[in-house]
Amino acid sequence: MISVEEAIERIERAFAPLGAELVSLDRALGRVLAEPLEARLTQPPADVSAMDGYAVRAADVKTLPVRLKITQRIAAGQPPSGAIGDGEAARIFTGAQVPPGADTIVIQENCDEADDHLTVREGRRALGQHIRKAGLDFATGDIALHSGRRLTARDISLAAAMNRPWLTVRRRPRIALLSTGDELVNPGDPVGPAQIIGSNGIGLAAMVHAFGGEPVNLGIARDNLEDLDRAIETALGFDALVTSGGASVGEHDLVQTALTERGMQLDFWKIAMRPGKPLMFGALGALKVLGLPGNPVSSIVTALLFLKPAIERMLGLAGLEPAREVALLGKDMPANDTRQDYVRARLVTNAEGQKVATPFSPQDSAMLSLIARADCLIVRKPHAPAAKAGDTIDIIPLSGGCLSI
Ligand code: AMP
Ligand code: MG
């Protein structure tokens, strides 16, 4: 058995960033930039008004009230027709270009207009006020988004404003998912008395999606070498094969045997953790293979801990263990044994504004209802001493993060 940390390290070492591809901006949400993104234009392109009002010369409005002649009207999208001279002003609207000669915007609420003349009655009129200078947001050639950034909706707005309708992003890792077990049927199919729904395939596909990969569900292989071998063959050519179930030591656990017979080089098998001990990692030529345990909670927790960094590494991201936070423990916990525990828990904020994590019981790795309801996983190191309610503990938040998509 190896530690969780060592397993993550070995997995990260085995994967490398994938190549890049071009996508249109409307398909780019969540994709990872593979090159720095330079602005193709300057924004705003010229000095523009930030308010509806009048463009004036600061020197003309030093003392109020003052009467100025309106020589032009400028709306957004229209260039000014000429310069503003002494004693002159331009009617101007938000986003319109400030005409040459004007250096200040006075807002319309402080002015009266009649007979092509403007009276500025009152209000602030500092030099340059309400003018957005050319290039305030960004200038041609500026790098506003860096390589390795996972694009948010806000980034996509920025890229659009920078006139970059196509982006070079990392190819999405293609992950083949294979469920194994004689007892499994697909959701929606008739369920016999000794059968259960194979939920891992569909759940893992959703996780792969959330992590930034492209899942392809290969369905269910039965617990025999022929069926497993056929399924393994279909996975060749993918970036990784993720199996669930059949990874333990029972006589129906044939996944490792089937892979080894095909020539898989085993990297490790079994991690000192709970849930998720029987986890297997290896390579079948270029195909990386991650064998997850069959119990639904184990498959979810191990996918979060090991599949996420693998996908992130292929995407050229940092690929670290999920972000940890601290919280106060909601109830006493006994001393831990040799395995690192990931304890499903509820997270609430108490009256003092502190986060409090309370473990569910039971902690059965077959209970999907509890992992679905959990707000976080409490991380307990191997050999951690007994902990008391109120102690500070490490948690991995679940809601609001990658798993909530
Ligand atoms: P195994 O590792 O194959 O012994 O599976 C461990 C437990 O997980 C058994 O109770 C299986 O029935 C269950 N299991 C395996 N695969 C799945 C799956 N895809 N969906 C739900 N439960 C599963
Ligand atoms: Mg099985």
Q: What is the mean pLDDT of the chain?
A: 95
Does residue 403 surpass a pLDDT of 60?
no
Distance (angstroms) between ligand 1 centre and the Cα of 233 equals 22
Confidence of residue 333 (pLDDT cuts 50, 70, 90): very high
Question: Is the CB of residue 245 less than 8 Å from the CB of residue 201?
Answer: no
Alpha-carbon distances of 266 from 10, 64, 259, 263, 289, rounded to whole Å:
12, 84, 9, 9, 9
Q: Average pLDDT, stretch 247-261? A: 91
Residue 247 pLDDT: 86
Does residue 317 surpass a pLDDT of 70?
yes
Q: What residues does each domain of the chain span?
A: 4-18+172-314, 20-43+137-170, 48-132, 325-397
User: Cβ contacts of residue 250 below 8 Å, gap of 6+?
Assistant: none
Residue 405 pLDDT: 40
CATH code for residues 325-397 = 2.40.340.10
Residue 165 pLDDT: 97
Does residue 404 surpass a pLDDT of 60?
no
Residue 399 pLDDT: 72
Residue 159 pLDDT: 98
Bridge partners for 132 per DSSP: 48
Any atom of ligand 1 within 6 Å of the Cβ of 184: yes
Q: Average pLDDT, stretch 223-238? A: 97
Q: Which residue's CA is minimally distant from atom 18 of ligand 1?
A: 198
Residue 248 pLDDT: 83
Any atom of ligand 1 within 6 Å of the Cβ of 110: no
The pocket of ion ligand 2, defined by CB under 5 A, consists of 181, 245-246
Any atom of ligand 1 within 6 Å of the Cβ of 280: no
Q: Which residue's CA is minimally distant from atom 16 of ligand 1?
A: 294
Distance (angstroms) between ligand 1 centre and the Cα of 346 equals 25
Q: Which residue's CA is minimally distant from atom 6 of ligand 1?
A: 294
Confidence of residue 177 (pLDDT cuts 50, 70, 90): very high
pLDDT digits (tens, 9 = 90+) for 91-119: 999 999 999 999 999 999 999 999 999 99
Does residue 288 surpass a pLDDT of 80?
yes
Percent of residues, the chain, with pLDDT higher than 70: 98
Distance (angstroms) between ligand 2 centre and the Cα of 206 equals 21
Q: Average pLDDT, stretch 283-293? A: 97
Residue 401 pLDDT: 54
Question: Is the CB of residue 62 less than 8 Å from the CB of residue 131?
Answer: no
Q: Average pLDDT, stretch 245-266? A: 92
Distance CA 182, CA 149 (A): 43
Respond yes or no on whether the N-terminal peptide bond of residue 44 is cis (omega within 30° of 0): yes
Percent of residues, the chain, with pLDDT higher than 90: 95
* Whole-model pTM over 0.85: yes
* Nearest Cα residue to 220 out of 202, 247, 206: 202
276-312 residues labelled b (16+ CB within 10 A) or e (exposed): bbbbbbbbbeebbbbbbbbbbbbbbbbbbbbbbbbbb
Query: Residue 195: nearest ligand to its CA?
Result: 1
Any atom of ligand 1 within 6 Å of the Cβ of 365: no
Distance (angstroms) between ligand 2 centre and the Cα of 363 equals 20
Indicate the fold that domain 4-18+172-314 takes in CATH.
Answer: Molybdenum Cofactor Biosythetic Enzyme; Chain A (3.40.980)
At residue 61's C-alpha, the angle toward residues 58 and 63, to 5°, is 130
pLDDT digits (tens, 9 = 90+) for 192-208: 999 999 999 999 999 99
Does residue 289 surpass a pLDDT of 50?
yes
Distance CA 136, CA 97 (A): 14
Any atom of ligand 1 within 6 Å of the Cβ of 234: no
Residue 251 pLDDT: 86
Residue linked to tokens 């200078």: 133
Distance (angstroms) between ligand 2 centre and the Cα of 250 equals 8
Residue 214 burial class via C-beta count within 10 angstroms: exposed 0-12, middle 13-18, buried 19 and up = middle
Any atom of ligand 1 within 6 Å of the Cβ of 181: yes
Distance (angstroms) between ligand 1 centre and the Cα of 293 equals 7
Residue 295 CA: which ligand 1 atom is closest?
8
Q: Average pLDDT, stretch 372-400? A: 94
Any atom of ligand 1 within 6 Å of the Cβ of 183: yes
Question: At the top level of CATH, which class does the domain 20-43+137-170 belong to?
Answer: alpha beta
Three-state secondary structure string covering the chain: CECHHHHHHHHHHHCCCCCEEEEEHHHCCCCEECCCEECCCCECCCCEECCCEEEECHHHHCCCCEEEEEEEEECCCCCCCCCCCCCEEEEECCCCECCCCCCEEEEHHHEEEECCEEEECCCCCCCCCCEECCCCCECCCCEEECCCCECCHHHHHHHHHCCCCEEEEECCCEEEEEEECCCEECCCCCCCCCCEECCHHHHHHHHHHHHCCEEEEEEEECCCHHHHHHHHHHHCCCCEEEEECCCCCCCCCCHHHHHHHCCCEEEEECECEECCCCCEEEEECCEEEEEECCCHHHHHHHHHHHHHHHHHHHCCCCCCCCCCEEEEECCCECCCCCCEEEEEEEEEECCCCCEEEEECCCCCCCCHHHHHHCCEEEEECCCCCCECCCCEEEEEECCCCHHHC
Residue 353 pLDDT: 97
Distance (angstroms) between ligand 2 centre and the Cα of 294 equals 6
Any atom of ligand 1 within 6 Å of the Cβ of 198: yes
Any atom of ligand 1 within 6 Å of the Cβ of 247: yes
- Pocket probe for ligand 1: among 177, 178, 184, the residue whose CB has the most ligand atoms within 8 Å is 184
CATH architecture of 48-132: Beta Complex (2.170)
Q: Average pLDDT, stretch 35-63? A: 98
Residue 278 CA: which ligand 1 atom is closest?
2
Residue 319 pLDDT: 55
Query: Residue 219: nearest ligand to its CA?
Result: 1
Q: Average pLDDT, stretch 389-395? A: 98
